[in-house]
């Protein structure tokens, strides 16, 4: 271990091996258990820490992590506290151990002595700070939580649950280099067991160090547990980046006493918390009852696996192993019908959609995709609800909006039944609170209500009432919820961008009167002026307000699909088939180029 520590010191302080040997004497060892704070935001900053083993989380909060904002992770071999060491300023963020961790630390007086002898050490730290600041402002993808340790925790020991765990492990192992860490089979994988057995009340340091080393040898370590609050289960939960609890919906959703005891232990709530709900054969055709499970276990997210459904199993495997694909669908009114063609192009290219996020019309079409019934079903729902159902044609006295919105609400209820949490594919959409302009992130509740609210463009459609608050179109504040998708457990993000950067010149010096514009549209012998209608003006004005924000967010996407839909009007639903075709063809071309690039890169 001392050789490893000296190598880390040499790397971070730009020292040769002999100098690192001398510098080692200035450092002191520090141990932090999972759940403990190394320091909090605002604490005195007079020391540098180098993480030797374990994992730390960075929080913009000086209190409990629920009150803070997760900023990123610190992995073995990385440092924290450079700014405080060099400037003496208070800590700008809190550092909490997400695993049992070992560090070494050097305080300010000792470092000043060391840097006087080796000036390159201070320059190396300053250069590392500058590099991280540049990365934060370069537009690169934000912090993500890489899943290298996964804990599979059954909520009971029913054979069906054990079989699902086996199936998940088999599927993950097919695609990822995995080490299965089972307490009953540690000897089979060469673990040191001199001071450990399955009934041990503590995990020896020799085993912890060995498991830490395996993390660098494999893409993922899967910790397998039994439905019990044992020392092994507690250790596995503390060491994991994600804890996936597996339950059968045929069983009671009331948490057991052992589970409550487990979640009350320090460090048990730092990993991403997933609930996998197994739906036995012979149950309801449509998923039901998810809300009660979520209220009981309060997971960060949940996944459905229906018995015999290979799509569900493979999707769950991809999400747990960090291979999932997220699809973000944007606003665009009738032009957003291009999403239907894009959905079909992804299906034809065998690109799975594991998580869906949408805004405005993207929320509606994304909801149709989330039923996981294929592109034909999406086409039917959208065409029946938007085109045949004439969702954009019930004009009314414009006291609040140009459209009454009754047809939109009726069609949403008819073609988008059920709750968001019961959808087979994880889904979210965004809307805007009309009172304070805050964004609403909808991940639970009635799908028709949430998606309809997300598409309630001010002036065109009336606001939607949610929790006694007036709610309008999500595109008012966020037409491309890419940042929100990046917070989900997805690896790749595909974005459909329907904003237009094209410009057009008009053939008049002054906008003609409304009468002349209307006559030109109705009579062939009157000059036709190119001018937007009221609805198009409202939609375009909303788009202009956030174009620049959208362009910056696009840096977070892995694939951007931009269908050429400028020639279609913002309310031109009669061109449904043409818009869908343009979406399909543009997506097919973009996907082909993306796959070729990915193949060349590998």
The tens digit of pLDDT for each residue in 491-529 reads: 999 999 987 545 556 555 566 665 565 665 666 656 665
The answer to whether residues 79 and 49 touch, using CB atoms and an 8 Å cutoff, is: yes
For 336, the 3-state DSSP assignment is helix
Q: Give per-residue pLDDT as tens, 412-464.
A: 899 999 999 999 999 999 999 988 889 999 999 999 999 999 988 877 788 88
CB 353 within 8 A of CB 372: no
Burial track 25-54 (b if 16+ CB lie within 10 A, e otherwise): ebbeebebebbebbbbbeeebbbbbbbbbb
Distance CA 441, CA 197 (A): 46
Cβ atoms of residues 587 and 341 within 8 Å: yes
* pLDDT tens string 58-93: 888 644 444 567 788 888 888 888 877 777 788 888
CA distance 536 to 396: 17
CA-to-CA separations, 592 to 327, 339, 398, 588, in angstroms, rounded: 17, 17, 46, 6
CB neighbourhood size of 445 (10 A) = 14
Helix (H, G, I), strand (E, B) or coil at 432: strand
pLDDT for position 384:
92
CA pair distance 71, 98, nearest whole angstrom: 13
Residue 549 CB: number of other CB atoms within 10 A? Answer: 13
Contact 452, 519 (CB under 8 A): no
* 188-215: average pLDDT: 82
The residues carrying an active-site annotation are: 360, 473
Go through 341-352 and write b for each residue having 16 or more CB atoms within 10 A of its CB, e for each that does not: bbbbbbbeeebe
Query: According to the model, what pLDDT value does residue 293 have?
Result: 97
Question: What count of residues does the chain have?
Answer: 602
pLDDT at 407: 84
Tell me what pLDDT residue 66 has.
46
Tell which wins on pLDDT, 215 or 159. Answer: 159
Identify each DSSP E strand in 335-426 by its residue range: 355-359
């Amino acid at each position: 271990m001392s050789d490893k520590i000296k190598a880390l010191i040499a790397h971070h302080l730009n020292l040769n091996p002999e100098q690192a040997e001398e510098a080692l004497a200035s450092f002191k060892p520090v141990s932090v258990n999972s759940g403990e704070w190394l320091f909090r935001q605002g604490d005195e900053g007079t020391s540098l820490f180098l993480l030797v083993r374990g994992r730390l989380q960075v929080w913009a909060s000086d209190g409990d992590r629920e009150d803070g904002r997760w900023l990123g992770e610190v992995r073995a071999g990385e440092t924290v506290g450079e700014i405080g060491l060099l400037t003496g300023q208070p800590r700008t963020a809190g550092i909490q151990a997400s695993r049992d961790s070992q560090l070494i630390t050097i305080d300010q007086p000792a470092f000043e002595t060391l840097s006087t002898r080796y000036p390159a050490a201070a320059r190396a730290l300053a250069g590392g700070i500058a590099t991280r600041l540049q990365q934060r402002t370069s537009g690169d993808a934000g912090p993500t939580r890489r899943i290298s340790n996964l804990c599979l925790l059954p909520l009971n020991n029913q054979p069906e649950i054990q079989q699902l765990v086996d199936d998940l492990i088999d599927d993950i192992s097919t695609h990822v280099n995995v080490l299965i860490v089972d307490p009953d089979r540690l000897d089979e994988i060469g673990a040191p067991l001199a001071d450990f057995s399955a009934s041990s009340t503590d995990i020896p340091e020799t085993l912890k160090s060995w498991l830490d080393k395996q993390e660098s040898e494999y893409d993922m370590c899967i910790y397998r547990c039994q439905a019990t609050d044992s020392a092994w289960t507690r250790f596995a939960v503390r060491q994991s980046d994600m804890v996936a609890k597996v339950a059968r919906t045929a069983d009671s959703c009331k948490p057991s006493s052992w589970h409550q005891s487990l979640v009350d232990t320090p460090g048990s709530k730092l990993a991403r918390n997933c609930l996998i709900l197994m739906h036995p054969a012979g149950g309801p055709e449509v998923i039901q009852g998810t809300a009660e499970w979520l209220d009981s276990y309060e997971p960060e997210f949940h996944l459905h696996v229906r018995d015999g459904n290979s799509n569900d199993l493979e999707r769950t495997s991809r999400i747990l192993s960090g291979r999932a694909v997220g699809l973000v669908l944007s606003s665009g009114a009738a032009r957003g019908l291009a999403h239907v063609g894009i959905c079909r192009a992804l299906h034809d290219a065998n690109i799975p959609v594991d998580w869906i996020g949408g805004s405005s019309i993207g929320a509606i079409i994304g909801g149709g995709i989330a039923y996981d019934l294929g592109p034909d079903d999406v086409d039917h729902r959208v065409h029946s609800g938007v085109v045949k159902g004439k969702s954009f044609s019930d004009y009314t006295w414009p006291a609040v909006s140009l459209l009454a919105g009754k047809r939109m609400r009726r069609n949403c209820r008819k073609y988008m039944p059920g709750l968001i949490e019961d959808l087979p594919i994880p889904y979210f959409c965004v809307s805007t609170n009309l009172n304070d302009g805050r964004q609403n992130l909808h991940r639970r509740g009635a799908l028709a209500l949430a998606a309809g609210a997300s598409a309630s463009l001010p002036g065109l459609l009336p606001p939607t009432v949610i929790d006694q608050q007036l709610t309008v179109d999500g595109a008012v504040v966020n037409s491309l919820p890419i940042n929100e998708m990046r917070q989900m457990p997805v690896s790749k993000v595909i974005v459909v961008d329907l904003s237009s950067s094209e410009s057009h010149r008009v053939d008049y010096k002054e906008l003609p009167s409304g009468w002349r514009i209307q006559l030109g549209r109705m009579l062939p012998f009157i000059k036709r002026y190119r001018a937007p209608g009221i609805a198009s003006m409202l939609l375009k004005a909303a788009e202009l307000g956030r174009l620049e924000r959208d362009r910056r967010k696009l840096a977070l996407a892995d694939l951007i699909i931009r269908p050429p839909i400028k020639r279609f009007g913002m309310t031109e639903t009669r061109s449904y088939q043409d818009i869908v075709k343009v979406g399909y063809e543009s997506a097919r071309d973009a996907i082909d180029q993306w796959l070729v690039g990915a193949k060349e890169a590998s």
